[in-house]
Structure 1
Amino acid sequence: MSSSGRFEGKIIVVTGAAQGIGAAVAQRAAAEGGKLVLVDRADFLPDVAAAIGGEALAINADLETWVGAEQAMQAAMDRFGRIDILINNVGGAIRMRPYAEFEPEQIEAEIRRSLMPTLWCCRAVLPFMLEAGRGTIVNVSSNATRGIHRIPYSAAKGGVNALTQSLAMEYADQGIRVVATAPGGTEAPPRRVPRNAAGDTAQEQAWMADVVDQVKQSSFLKRYGTIAEQAAPILFLASDEASYITGTVLPVAGGDLG
């Protein structure tokens, strides 16, 4: 793990920070000197903040709502007085199934999960970054904008890509960088909060197996990535080392551009 001090004195908000990529990003950013604000709706989030130590702040919020996003950013401001970096990491496909098998309410749920938190948090943080005259937003998208059995999720992440590029163009002259990574399949420990609380049927498990096969075959490296391999480019883009990069969506998927 790096401890180069890239984030010394920086106030960093990481959403979806309770587990997986978000937790790894928060832990590494703290090790590199950052002051972390962790946002998630998981009830064990304070344990993650406690493990990081220091001044890490845990904020429980439902970022699928404007109210949750606004309250989370205001809480970060109340504690630290500014937000230098926002890493939008909330998202993830809830179900894997052919598009013709999705019910309308399931489609809406996928959009709420994987697009709205990024839209809301970008809107909520912008006034604070504009007042400061600087800031960096890193959105965690997905290379699954091209993939099988998760069309609503693909559409949501396509929206994240468009948001990233348009927001970067709109606010570049006001000192705000907006970038994204597009992770591919990633090996991770079992989720403490399942992606699909209802559980998967045998048919859905078979469709999921099809997705795993497609993801590995589409990757030049023919494998899933690791959480560390996803956290590293996110933090590079968040750092001042990437100061001349904005509007870019960086694929991190073993060669699969999505």
Structure 2
Amino acid sequence: MRTTQRFAGRTMIVTGAAQGIGRGVAMSAAAEGANVVLVDRATLVEEVAAGILAAGGAALSVNADLETYAGAQAMVATATAAFGHVDILINNVGGTIWAKPYEHYAEAEIEAEIRRSLFPTLWGCRAVLPGMVERRAGVIVNVSSIATRGIHRVPYAAAKGGVNALTASLAFEHAADGIRINAVATGGTEAPPRRIPRNTQQQSEQSEQESKWYQAIVDQTVSSSLMHRYGTIEEQVGVILFLASDEASYMTGTVVPVGGGDLG
């Protein structure tokens, strides 16, 4: 457990906070003094917020569909009503839904991958920036992926490439407003089994071919890492919170790869 108070008195929105990296970020930030607004469309996020409150932290859970403009606007409005303003936004929603060679993706699947892994970050930035511009202060950390250079998840890679471009362009546009915008390109990360899968097919047994396609992603991820292993949630959280803190005050427009040496 972290013992510093880097985020004391600051309000931080963490999206995708019900599970995995988002949950880890929210819990660690709360332990460091942040007023944490945990956002997810899964009601599991309420359990995470309750745990933070029980430990003496400040937390508010919000159920929202961040694949929509309205969902992101409602998220920021709720956070502002509760805590006055938003200091930090961690855009964490995203993740591969299907794993297969690109020629096997259906039209609807390609669109779903882009909606899942690009639009929540686009809408989140759009929703939070007016308040940050008005206050001439703020930090955004976007969660990207080293999968921008990988196999069997091309639509996801394209979405995360968009996140990287968004990060660079917005940082350029808003540096004069006192706003820092960076991204973390996460590598393969060990995490507990998802309580809610990204697609219903994951609830049933994969076909032999689907298992081979997915295993190829795992093998490529490990082989591309100089450390030849997956990282931990804590290793990703540490870098995300570093970029969100004043310790990274001279960093903006940067995509930091956290993949054991795989630069994506």
Q: What is the TM-score of this pair, normalised by structure 2?
A: 0.96
Runs of 5+ unmatched residues, structure 1? none
Counterpart of 1:87 in structure 2 is: 90
Q: Number of matched residues?
A: 258
Counterpart of 1:219 in structure 2 is: 225
Q: Distance in 2 between matches of 1:40 and 1:65?
A: 13
Q: Distance in 2 between matches of 1:202 and 1:51?
A: 39
Q: Distance in 2 between matches of 1:203 and 1:123?
A: 40
State the identity %: 63
Equivalent residue of 1:123, what SS? helix
Counterpart of 1:2 in structure 2 is: 2
Q: Distance in 2 between matches of 1:87 and 1:204?
A: 32
Deviations 1:140-190 (A, max 9, x none): 000000000000000000000000000000000001000000000000000
Which letter maps to 2:258? V
Q: Distance in 1 between matches of 2:103 and 2:193?
A: 29
Which letter maps to 2:181? V
2:142 counterpart of 1:139:
yes
Counterpart of 1:180 in structure 2 is: 183
Q: Is the 8 A contact 1:3 1:33 kept in 2?
A: no
2:257 counterpart of 1:254:
no
Q: Distance in 2 between matches of 1:201 and 1:32?
A: 44
Q: Distance in 1 between matches of 2:195 and 2:135?
A: 37
Counterpart of 1:109 in structure 2 is: 112
Q: Distance in 2 between matches of 1:44 and 1:25?
A: 15
Q: Distance in 1 between matches of 2:99 and 2:50?
A: 34
Which contiguous aligned blocks of 4+ residues in structure 1 show a shift greater than 6 angstroms? Answer: none
Equivalent residue of 2:189, what SS? coil
Of 90, 99, 102, the match for 2:102: 99
Counterpart of 1:118 in structure 2 is: 121
Q: Distance in 1 between matches of 2:233 and 2:10?
A: 23
2:74 counterpart of 1:71:
yes
Q: Is the 8 A contact 2:96 2:156 kept in 1?
A: yes
How far the C-alpha of 1:21 sits from its partner, in A, is 0.2
Alpha-carbon RMSD: 0.7
How far the C-alpha of 1:44 sits from its partner, in A, is 1.6
Runs of 5+ unmatched residues, structure 2? none
Which letter maps to 2:18? A
2:203 counterpart of 1:197:
no
How far the C-alpha of 1:195 sits from its partner, in A, is 1.8
Q: Distance in 2 between matches of 1:203 and 1:43?
A: 33
How far the C-alpha of 1:55 sits from its partner, in A, is 2.5
Q: Distance in 2 between matches of 1:13 and 1:202?
A: 40
Counterpart of 1:22 in structure 2 is: 22
Counterpart of 2:212 in structure 1 is: 206
Q: Distance in 2 between matches of 1:189 and 1:90?
A: 17
Q: Distance in 2 between matches of 1:205 and 1:108?
A: 23
How far the C-alpha of 1:43 sits from its partner, in A, is 1.4
Counterpart of 2:33 in structure 1 is: 33
Equivalent residue of 2:183, what SS? strand
How far the C-alpha of 1:196 sits from its partner, in A, is 1.9
How far the C-alpha of 1:201 sits from its partner, in A, is 3.0
Equivalent residue of 2:112, what SS? helix
Q: Is the 8 A contact 2:242 2:248 kept in 1?
A: yes
How far the C-alpha of 1:202 sits from its partner, in A, is 2.9
Q: What is the TM-score of this pair, normalised by structure 1?
A: 0.99
Q: Is the 8 A contact 2:30 2:58 kept in 1?
A: no
Q: Is the 8 A contact 2:91 2:141 kept in 1?
A: yes
How far the C-alpha of 1:203 sits from its partner, in A, is 1.7
How far the C-alpha of 1:210 sits from its partner, in A, is 0.5
Q: Is the 8 A contact 2:185 2:257 kept in 1?
A: yes
Q: Distance in 2 between matches of 1:14 and 1:228?
A: 16
